[in-house]
A and B are shown apart, each in its own frame.
Chain A
Amino acid sequence: MSGGRGFAAALFVALALALAFLTLPIVAIFVSVSPRELVSSLDDPGVLDALWLSLRTTLAALAIIVVVGTPAAYLLATRSFRAKALVTTLVELPLVLPPAVAGVGLLAALGPAGIAGGPIEDSGIRLALETAGVVVALTFVAAPFFIRGAQVAFASVDRTWLQASRTLGASEARTFLRVAIPAAAPGMLAGLALAWGRAVGEFGATLIFAGSFRGRTQTAPLAIYERLGTDFTGALALAAVLVVFSAALLLTAKLLSGQQAVDVVR
């Protein structure tokens, strides 16, 4: 009896330790910067530039991810083909790839001296050290979060719904748009929220592939890093904004995932 109680206490202590450790940095950010300092730091044009650039580049990356990733995820979820497991693994690879590796890889592939760099340069597009390069880096690291979420969401759509749609005169494309996407929407949005969170926090790949030029490639995380030595309060203020944004995304993803589960159970 007392052994059982001791075990329960151990579980409780472990959770308390984990919770304290994981929330302490967040708490510290808000304790170290007063609301007044936070607001005045946000008047700094450099901070605003970084936030604005982060917003633009992440939204551009998300647009690319959704347009290409949705049909790709649908295919992975609804068709079986040879090497499907391999393809799925390759698509998921950026999830576990160190960001620095992603940055170096992108340079080697799409940089001026990269294997595909020549044709890209010839067509007049510059990626490395440009805003477009930031979008490329964000797309690379964030896409798997969305594709995975969308694939699971599509796979959990009742297959007979898709078949019913076909027998009712809808083509495969119409079935995709009218039945599959609306039915999978909560799961897709949850995946999108996670992808957005990953893109907003992206640091290493962006730094290596696009550099850190204020107003051009310096996103909010890069701006935080630059300020560490000179303007710690400014860094904290930017960090506080990102914490609020990330927490909102996580909450959204949780709520949407819950809804998806309810929809699947019907």
Chain B
Amino acid sequence: MLCVEARTTLGRFELDASLRAPAGGCLALAGPSGSGKSTLLRIAAGLLRPTHGRVTWGEEVWLDTARGRNVAPELRGCGYVFQDYALFGHMQVWQNVAYGLQGLSRAERRRRADELLERFGIGRLATARPRTLSGGERQRVALARALAPSPRALLLDEPLSALDARTRASASRELAAVLRDAAVPALLVTHDFTEAAVLGDRVAVIDGGRIVQEGTAGELAAAPASAFVADFTGAVVLTGVAREGPDGTTIVELDGGGIATSTDRRTGPVALSVHPWEIALEPDGTHHEGSARNRLAAEVVTVTAIGNRVRVGLAAAQPLVAEITGAAVGGLHLEPGVRVTATWKATATRLVSL
């Protein structure tokens, strides 16, 4: 378990946050740029010393400003993936990966670096220079370099943001696998809630230097603590497998059951996204024949007012969120346990290949 608590002022910016990443789990720290999320990561790594703070790893105290304790970054053993990867330009790829392997012969360091590069499918790049690599290749080298010394925690600063949209999907899949395999606590910083939801076991939303809410991605979307979190969580994301449907539409067999239709053309594994305010709720059992192609039976789990609207968290095969008016909530007698049908249009349904 990695725990980070920090209270510090950087210029006019005030950071006051605390978070914990369990061993073998990934906490995604999500927030807009300038919210202080990268600062927290640097504090965890020891690259920045807050005015007041405490960082512990298991029983080990890495930072305790009250006691004047501050363990140097090189003794903390954090695998850090920097936003622009920070590969050493004057070294070959394998030398980058082997940099953290100290106290071994050159041949042994080379062997281990090659092994890791092979695992990431870039063994052929061992003697290349970082500047000749594509974004996706750099990301894998950075990940291999961070993992090489068997780190005690993984810290990832926007590991996917430097990639183009096409590379990002495959890189995200690989990263999810790495995080699953790693038995160490991981902290991942991102400005993208969907990325946080896909890669984090739990998500902490940070805004203006404060953690505004923490929970699973589903919990945050279903019952956001503030309008900011509600907006930030954005679209509902469901996963499934797409195939061609009638009239040029796409049919998605949702994981866990249910079918959705989209006008986006995709086949194979997809992430389906729809905004909560596109989803309408009807009483269970009605067979209203409207224009909405998508109908899923669900049970109300939470009803949360945010400003002049209400978030309704729904349990279906995959969790859903609808955003409706307070009047509609009253009209449908919505409360936890009530069964409803969630409907939305195929044209409001976006598909992204996974």
Q: Which chain A residues have a beta carbon within 8 Å of chain B's beta carbons?
A: 158, 160-161, 163-172, 178-179, 182-183, 185, 263, 266
Nearest-CB distance from A263 to chain B (Å)? 6
Nearest-CB distance from A108 to chain B (Å)? 44
Pick from A163, A170, A178, A182: contact of B47, CB below 8 A. Answer: A163
In the bound complex, do residue B88 and residue A164 qualify as a contact, i.e. CB atoms below 8 Å apart?
yes
In the bound complex, do residue A170 and residue B80 qualify as a contact, i.e. CB atoms below 8 Å apart?
no
B181: interface (CB < 8 Å): no
Nearest-CB distance from B110 to chain A (Å)? 16
Given the known interface contacts A168-B100, A169-B149, the answer about A263 and B79 at a Cβ–Cβ threshold of 8 Å is no
Nearest-CB distance from B104 to chain A (Å)? 12
In the bound complex, do residue B74 and residue A166 qualify as a contact, i.e. CB atoms below 8 Å apart?
yes
In the bound complex, do residue B74 and residue A164 qualify as a contact, i.e. CB atoms below 8 Å apart?
no
Given the known interface contacts A168-B145, A169-B74, A171-B72, the answer about A163 and B88 at a Cβ–Cβ threshold of 8 Å is no
Pick from A167, A178, A185: contact of B80, CB below 8 A. Answer: A167
4 shortest interchain CB distances as A-B pairs: A168-B100, A160-B86, A166-B73, A167-B80
> 13 other contacts beyond A161-B89, A166-B47, with CB at 8 A cut-off?
A163-B45, A163-B80, A163-B86, A164-B86, A166-B73, A167-B45, A167-B155, A168-B74, A169-B149, A172-B72, A178-B99, A263-B89, A263-B90
In the bound complex, do residue B88 and residue A161 qualify as a contact, i.e. CB atoms below 8 Å apart?
yes
Complex interface: chain A residues within 8 A of B130 (CB): 266
B131: interface (CB < 8 Å): yes
In the bound complex, do residue B86 and residue A158 qualify as a contact, i.e. CB atoms below 8 Å apart?
yes
Pick from A161, A169, A182, A183: contact of B100, CB below 8 A. Answer: A169
B115: interface (CB < 8 Å): no
Complex interface: chain B residues within 8 A of A164 (CB): 80, 82, 86, 88, 145
In the bound complex, do residue B88 and residue A170 qualify as a contact, i.e. CB atoms below 8 Å apart?
no
| In the bound complex, CA of A36 to CA of B236 (Å) | 88
Complex interface: chain B residues within 8 A of A171 (CB): 72, 74
B123: interface (CB < 8 Å): no
Question: Could you name 9 residue pairs across A and B whose Cβ atoms are closer than 8 Å?
Answer: A161-B86, A163-B82, A164-B145, A166-B47, A167-B76, A168-B74, A169-B149, A183-B89, A185-B90
Complex interface: chain A residues within 8 A of B77 (CB): 169
| In the bound complex, CA of A158 to CA of B87 (Å) | 10
Nearest-CB distance from A203 to chain B (Å)? 38
B186: interface (CB < 8 Å): no
